[in-house]
Structure 1
Amino acid sequence: MRQKTNGWDPAKRVSEQAPGVHFVEGPASNWIVVRDGPGFILIDSGYPGDRHHVLASLRHLGLEPADALALLLTHGHVDHTGSAAFFSESYGTPVLCAAGELAHVQGKEKHQVTLGQVLSRAWRPRVFRWIVHVIKAGALAARPATQATAWDAATLRALPGRPVAISVPGHTPGNTQSCFRKREPSRSAIRLSAGTRSAGSPVRKCCIRCITQIRARRSPPCETWPASTLWLSCRDMVRPCACRWTKQ
């Protein structure tokens, strides 16, 4: 089904990066749909302003949003949690995240740049453009996913793709990536991250006290699987970090 939402066309923005794994490039952030048979899950959900795009991307794939078995959140920043409260309240979709990120996702804690830090840098053109960007994407209208719960290994194994959560703290205390077994014999796993859009490139992690990104060393997807992986992401900003704070 071909649907356009305010000029955003899912037919041009949804790509199958691996069998059953669909990367969706939103106007301001990205998300991933993982299908396995009749079931599917979402990984992240863009900004609040991306909700109609998230719904359109699912329907483009022939899926009904209400049928999502879970919405997994890599971390609690607004460009990842934008539709989480909507899915939970409208469809009863389980919203899951790492235990270390639960308070952040539920809105009980904040792990991001402060208003003062943003305003002190607003004179910089790039930061000013970023401020405009997040406001247009609905960041000020964000609502926490108060019904979110922490996942465990058994819960994840029961979901499409049988994801394995990998803790990568630094960007936030409970930031995670998800690793999935590959269906092709030639590849053992696919790792979905919030680091870089480019397949085959190293994961990036953010400096914990600034909004730029730095490179991180490649690591195996999990202890028992080889390092040969396909890298996807829910972010696309890759810049050298000159921040004076210690890199995480």
Structure 2
Amino acid sequence: MSRRTQPDRVHQVAPAVERLGDGMVNFYLVDHPDGLVLVDAGLPGHLGQLREHLARSGRSLHEIKAVLLTHGHPDHTGLVTAAQQAGADIWIHEADAAILADGPRSAMRHAKPERSMFPYLLRRPASISGPLHLARMGGFSGRPVHGAHTFQGDHHFDEIPGRPQAVALPGHTDGTVAYHFPALGVLFTGDALVTREDMIGHTGPSLVSRGFTHDGAAALSSLDRLAELPPALLLPGHGPAFADGPQAAATQARHMGLH
């Protein structure tokens, strides 16, 4: 088994929710009686991991009903093509749909960061590990994706197993959202709020640095919206789960500020 599959990175983080990915990137499998749902889709190099994990319980990609993307960056969309070809519906906020349609190399054009990453690399050379990992795992090799379903603002998905709710939290990208599964008590925050920020070397609730954030003022404002959400286990795109709820997470992230 290749190191790229990294099966040791798969573990249950909540009832009916499994975390996949690796030490830098999270994506999640929701195992609902009505079907499987992926929240975010990792990197292309995670495909073997997902296939093997499903196979161990007698399942396959064809049982994934939907993929809910928190935003369009390539470390969250790498398995979209494989899931779509297996029959899954792909969902993304309308404001990030162009990133999918134009391919992963378009991400910086459609959601240009506020700052160059080079000052971060100079201050903390170890932060180069993030971009290098993305490249090694095929983050820039994905193809354009057509036929994704889009939505605007907040959205209730009555047709998707678990009946999740999308909450618009723009800033990291214009189309960044979180997904709340009320019956499961979980909130998938993507990169609207993370608990690991490699560019500055921080662990704990925070915003993604300006080197990868499109609109810092909007990202800070979205923390107010996040703080208003019901108590839930926060499952971010990067870093460990946060059990103290959205309000505490938003407070800590605001205290950290935007770097």
TM-score category by the smaller chain? 0.7 to 0.9
SS of aligned partner of 1:78: coil
AA partner of residue 210 (structure 1):
G
Aligned residues: 224
Describe the shift of the 1:86–1:178 C-alpha distance in structure 2 as closer, same or farther (beyond 3 A): same
Q: Residue 86 of structure 1 corresponds to which residue in structure 2?
A: 82
TM-score by length of 2: 0.72
SS of aligned partner of 2:166: strand
Describe the shift of the 1:234–1:58 C-alpha distance in structure 2 as closer, same or farther (beyond 3 A): farther
Query: Cα RMSD between the aligned structures?
Result: 3.4
AA partner of residue 205 (structure 1):
L
Q: Which structure 1 residue ranges, 5 or more long, are not aligned? A: 184-188, 222-226, 244-248
Q: Deviations over 1:12-47 (max 9, x none)?
A: 322222221222242541111112115111011111
Q: Deviations over 1:97-116 (max 9, x none)?
A: 112221222227621449x9
Describe the shift of the 1:180–1:161 C-alpha distance in structure 2 as closer, same or farther (beyond 3 A): same
SS of aligned partner of 2:180: strand
What are the within-5 Å matches in structure 2 for residues 99-118 of structure 1?
99-107=94-102, 110-113=110-113, 117-118=116-117
Structure having the higher helix fraction is 2
SS of aligned partner of 1:140: coil
AA partner of residue 206 (structure 2):
R
Matching of residue 172 in structure 1 with residue 173 in structure 2: yes
Q: Residue 204 of structure 1 corresponds to which residue in structure 2?
A: 206
What are the within-5 Å matches in structure 2 for residues 53-64 of structure 1?
53-64=49-60
- For 2:182 and 2:186, locate their aligned partners in 1 and report how far apart those are by CA, in whole Å: 6
TM-score by length of 1: 0.75
Deviation at 1:63, TM superposition (A): 2.3
Matching of residue 142 in structure 1 with residue 142 in structure 2: yes
Contact 2:24 2:238 in 1 (8 A): no
Describe the shift of the 1:35–1:135 C-alpha distance in structure 2 as closer, same or farther (beyond 3 A): same
- For 1:9 and 1:82, locate their aligned partners in 2 and report how far apart those are by CA, in whole Å: 16
Which segment drifts farther, 59-68 or 212-221? Answer: 212-221
Q: Residue 224 of structure 1 corresponds to which residue in structure 2?
A: none
SS of aligned partner of 2:3: coil
What are the within-5 Å matches in structure 2 for residues 185-196 of structure 1?
189-194=185-190, 195-196=193-194
